[in-house]
Structure 1
Amino acid sequence: MTKILIVGAHGQTAQIVTELLLKNLNIDLKLFLRNSNRLKQYQDNPRVELIEGDVLDTAALTAVMNDVDLVYSNVGGQNLADQASSIIQAMDQAGVKRLIFISSLGTYHEVPGKFGEWNETAIADFLPGFRKSAQLIETSDLDYTMIRPAWMDNKDEIDYETTQKGETFKGTEVSRKSIADFVIKLIEHPQEHIGESVGLNKPNTEGDKPAWI
Structure 2
Amino acid sequence: MTKVLIVGAHGQTARIVTDRLLNETDDQLVLFLRNSSRLNQYETNDRVELVDGDILDTDSLAKTMDGVDIVYSNVGGPNLADQATSLLNAMKQAGKKRLIFISSLGAYHEVPGKFGEWNEQAIADYLPGFRKSAQLIEASNTDYTMIRPAWMSNKDEINYETTQKTEPFKGTEVSRKSIADFVIKLLNDPTKHIGESVGLNKPNTDGDKPEWI
Q: TM-score, normalised by structure 2?
A: 0.99
Q: 1:33 and 1:154 mapped to 2: Cα distance?
A: 22
Partner residue in 1 for 2:174? 174
Q: 1:25 and 1:116 mapped to 2: Cα distance?
A: 38
**Partner AA of 2:128 in structure 1:** P
**Partner AA of 2:35 in structure 1:** N
Deviations 1:42-64 (A, max 9, x none): 01110000000000000000000
Partner residue in 2 for 1:145? 145
Aligned-pair identity (%): 76
Q: 1:108 and 1:167 mapped to 2: Cα distance?
A: 10
**Partner AA of 2:138 in structure 1:** E
Partner residue in 1 for 2:12? 12
Q: 2:123 and 2:27 mapped to 1: Cα distance?
A: 35
- Alignment: residue pair count: 213
Q: Output the aligned Cα RMSD.
A: 0.6
- Alpha-carbon shift at residue 24 of structure 1 (Å): 3.5
Partner residue in 1 for 2:116? 116
What is the 5 A alignment of 1:46-85?
A: 46-85=46-85
Deviations 1:64-84 (A, max 9, x none): 001100000000000000000
Structure 1 regions of 5+ residues with no counterpart? none
What is the 5 A alignment of 1:191-210?
A: 191-210=191-210
Q: 2:154 and 2:195 mapped to 1: Cα distance?
A: 28
Q: 2:23 and 2:93 mapped to 1: Cα distance?
A: 31
Partner residue in 2 for 1:162? 162
Structure 1 segments of 4+ aligned residues over 3 angstroms from their partners: none
Q: 2:82 and 2:43 mapped to 1: Cα distance?
A: 29
Would the alpha carbon gap of residues 145 and 115 (structure 1) be closer, same or farther in structure 2, given more than 3 Å must change?
Answer: same
Partner residue in 2 for 1:89? 89
Q: TM-score, normalised by structure 1?
A: 0.99
Q: 1:112 and 1:145 mapped to 2: Cα distance?
A: 23
Q: 1:79 and 1:105 mapped to 2: Cα distance?
A: 17
